[in-house]
Amino acid sequence: MTADDFQQYLAAKRSVDDRSLDRRLWRQLRTNLATAGDDEGPFRVLEVGAGVGTMIERAVEWDLFPGDRDVVYTAVDQASDNTAAIPDRLAAWAADRPVDVSERDDGIDLVCPERTVAVRPVTAEAEAFVADTDRSWDLLLGLAVLDVIGLETLPTLLSGLAPEGCWYFPITFDGGTRFTPAHPADDAVERAYHGHMDAKPGGDSRAGHHALARLRELDGATVSGVAGSDWVVYPDAGGYPGDEASFLRYVLETVEGALGEVDRGEALDDGTLDDWLRTRREQVASGDLVYVTHQLDLLGQWTGGE
């Protein structure tokens, strides 16, 4: 899979994430942000694992930021292809909205009717970036990242928040991968796929509830909200919405790649896996596959900053 394939997947899952995010928690985050940060300066956001910038779009569209304050949005991702794509994607997104664009050497400014959102993409590993700077932020975002970057990064990431700053980790994978219609190999595929996650450095197929336990124990962190945010991808009479068929194809490619790297045991030999993959891809093509993944949205504040 290429960087372009991954970016297409990130773009395609925008609509999947939109459906999945718990709106009650989003409203609670907006309320919490109203009292976060210094009213005298811009509102400061750090997003880790920012991908191609879909959360930035959503934050503007869904009116996340408090009052009419300007925003400085630092978008960190370890893949340079992703951070390089953010300005062009945001410029294309802004073209259909009442948002003017000012491109800069270090990013892009989105001039909205209420505020300017200064987006500054940074290519870096998230924990190292926070550890190596003396900057602080009013909001820390990390969508679908804790099962990848490892829960041991949480103390460092949260230490970058200003006192009473907010953290929000939505779409945190929590141990459920389901495909419908049923196939005899489903359970074996799920076990092997989750086992591959757990074997990777920082990987955790139960990251959602493990993160919740870690955040509740972490000095300076207060959990203020938890909700389910399952991905549910299914066709209607017109097929899959948006580009969600390509999202499903990428998921299947990811499963195939992961299961090619582990000892699958006798229950999932090459022939059985090939049949499972062929069946699932045919079901995507015919608009019959339903995909469900269990996840959690986690929300809280940081009182440990100085």
- List the structure tokens of 261: 């790297």
Task: State in Å, rounded, how far the first CA of the chain is from the last one.
Answer: 44
Residue 4: the pLDDT is 86
Residue 172: the pLDDT is 98
Residue 37: the pLDDT is 63
Residue 1: the pLDDT is 67
- List the structure tokens of 227: 């909700």
Residue 262: the pLDDT is 82
Residue 237: the pLDDT is 87
Instruction: Assign residue 279 the CATH number of its domain.
Output: 3.40.50.150
Please state the pTM of the whole predicted model.
Answer: 0.95
Cα 84 to Cα 240: distance, rounded to the nearest angstrom: 29
Q: pLDDT tens, 226-282? A: 999 999 999 998 899 999 999 999 999 999 999 998 878 777 999 999 999 999 999
Residues in the chain: 306
Report whether 17 contacts 168 (CB < 8 A): no
Cα 283 to Cα 34: distance, rounded to the nearest angstrom: 46
- State the residue range of the domain holding 221: 3-302
- From 47, 51, 49, 60, select the one nearest 12 (Cα to Cα): 51
Domains in the chain, number: 1
Cα 91 to Cα 99: distance, rounded to the nearest angstrom: 9
Residue 266: the pLDDT is 73
Residue 290: the pLDDT is 98
Which parts of the chain register pLDDT below 70? 1, 37-39, 305-306
Bridge partner residues of 139 (DSSP)? 45, 166
